[in-house]
């Protein structure tokens, strides 16, 4: 390098040919920060993309969606789910040792099949809990599902849900019709009560006039 140069390590200022340049060392990540980024990355590169949410920008990412990429999914809003899903997302809450479950999309000959005959509602809740970091901290067993099982059960639930929605819509229509009929009857009842009260008042007035007529007009 030509020209005089000096550095001041305490002030982070470098002087070159009489010009003082300030080096912003705060913007340079420390080794600790780089270690944190390394520890926050997901266990597999496959987790940087998800079918539930926006695709990742590539590379690893923090669990909060910042950093080198994004790997969280669209937030789950079903309030009837267990606490481990109510304020989280599937991948953000994935247990850190998930890969140790040795699962696959298709079946394996040595897969644990103990939950295969469990009702789908309970099965889904158990598998979700076992897949979650909360489940890992609670010393839960590993999940046992395959991708094919999930797809098959999901399609069955979709059919059931569609059927129940149709039934519920029909029932709601009946309730609405019954409510309308009841409201009409209640209006008729109120109108009848008003008519009765009005006729009673008229009857009293006529009886008063009759008394006057017989007393003074006869």
pLDDT of residue 196: 98
Give me the mean pLDDT over the 142-171 stretch: 96
Name the residue among 97, 76, 103 with its Cα closest to residue 140.
97
pLDDT at 178 over 90: yes
Give me the mean pLDDT over the 25-36 stretch: 42
Identify which of 37-46, 71-80, 145-154 has the greatest average pLDDT. Answer: 145-154
Which residue has better confidence, 177 or 61? Answer: 177
Which residue has better confidence, 8 or 114? Answer: 114
Burial 12-39 (b: 16+ CB within 10 A, else e): eeeeeeeeeeeeeeeeeeeeeeeeebee
55 neighbors 65 (Cβ within 8 angstroms): no
pLDDT at 156 over 70: yes
pLDDT of residue 110: 83
pLDDT of residue 124: 94
Question: What is the percent of the chain where pLDDT is above 70?
Answer: 59
* Mean pLDDT computed over every residue of the chain: 73
In this structure, the chain runs to a length of 218
C-alpha–C-alpha distance, residues 5 and 42, integer Å? 45
Name the residue among 149, 140, 156, 58 with its Cα closest to residue 93.
140
Domain ranges for the chain, please list them.
79-145
Q: Which residues contact 22 (CB under 8 A, 6 or more apart)?
A: 12, 13
17 neighbors 5 (Cβ within 8 angstroms): yes
Give me the mean pLDDT over the 201-218 stretch: 96
pLDDT at 200 over 90: yes
C-alpha–C-alpha distance, residues 103 and 95, integer Å? 14
pLDDT of residue 82: 52
C-alpha–C-alpha distance, residues 140 and 149, integer Å? 21
pTM over 0.85: no
Which residue has better confidence, 23 or 67? Answer: 23
């Amino acid at each position: 390098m030509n020209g005089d140069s000096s550095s001041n390590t305490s002030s982070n200022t470098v002087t070159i040919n009489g010009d003082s340049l300030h080096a912003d060392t705060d913007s340079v990540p420390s080794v600790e920060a780089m270690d944190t980024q390394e520890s926050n990355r997901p266990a597999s590169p496959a987790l940087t993309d998800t079918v539930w949410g926006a695709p990742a920008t590539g590379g690893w990412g923090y669990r909060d969606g910042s950093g080198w990429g994004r790997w969280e999914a669209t937030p789950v809003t079903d309030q009837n789910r267990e606490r481990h899903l109510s304020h989280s997302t599937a991948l953000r809450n994935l247990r850190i040792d998930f890969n140790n479950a040795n699962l696959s999309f298709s079946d394996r000959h040595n897969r644990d099949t103990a939950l295969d005959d469990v009702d789908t509602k309970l099965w889904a809740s158990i598998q979700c809990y076992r897949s979650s970091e909360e489940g890992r901290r609670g010393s839960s067993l590993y999940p046992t599902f395959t991708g094919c099982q999930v797809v098959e059960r999901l399609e069955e639930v979709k059919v059931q849900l569609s059927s129940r929605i149709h039934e519920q819509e029909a029932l709601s229509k009946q309730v609405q019709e019954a409510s309308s009929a009841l409201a009409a009857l209640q209006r008729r009842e109120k109108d009848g009560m008003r008519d009765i009260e009005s006729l009673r008042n008229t009857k009293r007035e006529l009886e008063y006039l009759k008394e006057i007529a017989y007393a003074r007009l006869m």
